[in-house]
Chain A
Amino acid sequence: MNLIIVLPIIVPLLFAVSMLFFWKNVRVHKILNVIASIFSLVVAGLLLSDVNSSGILSLQVGSWRAPFGISLVADLLASIMVLITAVIGLATSIYSLGSMDEQREKFLYYPLLQFLLMGINGAFLTGDIFNLYVWFEVMLISSFVLLALGGKREQLEGAIKYVTLNLVSSAIFLAAVGILYGIVGTLNMADIARKIPLVEHKELVTVVSFLFMVAFGIKAAVFPLFFWLPASYHTPPIAVSAIFAGLLTKVGVYALIRVFTLIFVQDTNFTHTVLLVIAGFTMLTGVLGAASQNDMRKILSFHIISQIGYMIMGLALFSPLAIAGAIFYIIHHIIVKTNLFLVSGVVDKMKGSFELKKIGGLYKYYPLLGLLFLIPALSLAGIPPLSGFWAKFVVIKAGLELNQMFIVVVALIVGLLTLFSMTKIWNEAFWKNDPRGNENILDDSFSSVSISKKVLIFSPIIVLALITIIIGLNAEPFINIANNAAAQLLNPNEYITKVLGL
């Protein structure tokens, strides 16, 4: 029995439920939350090493045979994603301890965080397309509440757009699952992959693939379906923004990679070309949107979109190297983006604003923070030797090998523009003098924060920055594992046989 596959789902669930028994006691919530995150990290590490050494693991829940029961499957991609989720979960848990306000903590912030992580892990590990829908909903409802918790005006406005568009996408996803079931008569993804080549009307499958593309595209925030993201992601407290920015859109990307490598590969000329065009526009519109903004969190929100474009580009190019690039890009981006949001939270705590026009002079009095911002910012822009360079390098090299010059040029230009908007944040927030006078160095609210809270706020930022540097300086093992994951994805026979037990 491969019970370890269940643990990334069970651990957050158990801890979240046990937190509910101590409804009023926020201290217990805090302790249990950190323990849960550490546990999840250990479990995810074990899962990845298991999958790495012994190949794809699968578990038939309740011992119902494969196509009939619900399967949980952990291949390399899924277990990499689970591990990253655990890393980000721990980082935001610790950051929340130092930064979350009491009001939100009282209204069950920590159990919601664990439920969110459970939903994300479930979406990564399920091998059943309808269950993917259910896990999406688990994840979404937790994220809805986390987003709206606090009930400030802008939060509610952002939440309305977020909730509406995600419900629309869920309805489309549900309809697509139903039609797909009508065509192939099975819900198990491995079984679908086996039966799709036998379908008589190939066009019908392509049509359904587009329904999936739209449904996951909304969740992954690709062009032209991304407008909910910059409207909502910057409104909740920064710890929530950070975990959303890091993980939620990547679940959409993961789902796209999963269905467009496993299930819908019968008409790649058409579907993947459409994906390639989408990728180009996503990169461009995202980065141009970012260039027009003046609010730190909004710039970062728009950058999520442009970076999603690179991952979709990797998927769309559909060569082993390109898919490996997409996976490596996801690893790099989750860590870097979360880190950037966490740093912007510190800036807000010090200066009391995210508005670039209102803040300044941080580097002069706080050079360490400047450094901690520079590392993920330059990594995002793709400056060697940081992780972003290798991520962009692999994706672009794959594009060059396939002679897709147009998308390569777009990717390079977007990289340049990314650097431009990162420099903009650097210049405005860190380099120029504070427009409100030099005395206004540290906002009172930050200097009054106790040392232990400062440690809690800074330690996840430092650790994530270190991870970025480590990936950058020692990229080979990470690229190797991404290559192996891509090889598994492009050769789905192992997946199919392991799940169905053939």
Chain B
Amino acid sequence: MTFLLAILVGVLYTAGIYMILRRSLVKVIIGLIFLGHAANLLIFTIGRVTKGFPAFVPADGTKLVEPFADPLPQALILTAIVIGFGVQAFAIVLFKRAYQTVGTDDLDEMKSTDELKEDK
């Protein structure tokens, strides 16, 4: 299971970076979402993956029994997912607005802020 997750994280990072480097705005958004999910899954994997061992102290004991999954990374991901959703929603709206204003979704044509102004 961990092995599969590791591959999945790798694939998500690769795909995310590839998509960000595309020129189309939509692909950049998809790339950003991939990167966010890759980071979340990475943290999830770091917290150990176990099946059928919830991180509860048994009724007759005082200590967690190994093997258990660390619950804290899952709490971290939960926060990160919420933040990620908010930011991604904002980015999608922003990109749509930019597409409407500039009239293209090609990032290569959105460079008026980078150019040296010519003498007119």
Contact = CB atoms under 8 A, between A and B. Distances in A.
Interface of A: 130, 133-134, 137, 140-141, 144-145, 148, 151-154, 156-161, 163-164, 167-168, 170-172, 174-175, 177-179, 181-182, 187, 230-232, 234-235, 292-295, 355, 357
A170 B101 CA distance: 27
A157 B98 contact: yes
Contacts of B119: 357
B43 A144 contact: no
Chain B interface category by residue count: 35 or more
Contacts of B90: 141, 144-145, 163
A428 to B, nearest CB: 13
B87 A167 contact: yes
A167 B25 CA distance: 14
Interface in B84-120: 86-87, 90-91, 94-95, 97-98, 101-102, 107, 110-114, 116-117, 119
A157 B39 contact: no
8 contacts: A137-B83, A144-B90, A163-B90, A168-B20, A171-B36, A178-B46, A234-B113, A357-B119
B41 to A, nearest CB: 10
Question: Which 3 residue pairs are nearest across A and B when measured between Cβ atoms?
Answer: A178-B43, A182-B46, A156-B98
B79 interface: yes
A210 B47 CA distance: 22
A134 B42 contact: no
A357 B110 CA distance: 24
B69 interface: no
Given A134-B83, A168-B32, A174-B80, 12 more contacts: A152-B101, A159-B98, A161-B113, A163-B90, A163-B94, A164-B32, A167-B91, A178-B43, A178-B46, A181-B72, A182-B47, A355-B117
B111 A141 contact: no
A181 B36 contact: no
A145 B90 CA distance: 9
A259 B28 CA distance: 30
B101 to A, nearest CB: 5
A157 B28 contact: no
Contacts of B95: 160
Contact of B110 (A141, A145, A152, A160): A160
> Interface on chain B toward A: helix, strand, loop, or mixed SS?
helix
Nearest to B36: A171
A174 B117 contact: no
A157 B43 contact: no
A151 B113 contact: no
Contacts of B73: 178, 181
Contacts of B39: 171-172, 174-175, 178
Contacts of B42: 175, 178-179
B94 A141 contact: no
Contacts of A293: 116
A318 B39 CA distance: 31
A24 B58 CA distance: 55
Contacts of A172: 39
Nearest to A160: B98
A156 B83 CA distance: 22
Interface in B29-85: 32, 35-36, 38-40, 42-43, 46-47, 72-73, 76, 79-80, 83
Nearest to A156: B98
Contacts of A175: 38-39, 42-43
Contact of A157 (B32, B38, B102): B102
Contacts of A182: 46-47
A476 B101 CA distance: 52
Nearest to A292: B116
Contacts of B47: 182
B86 A144 contact: no
Contacts of B40: 174
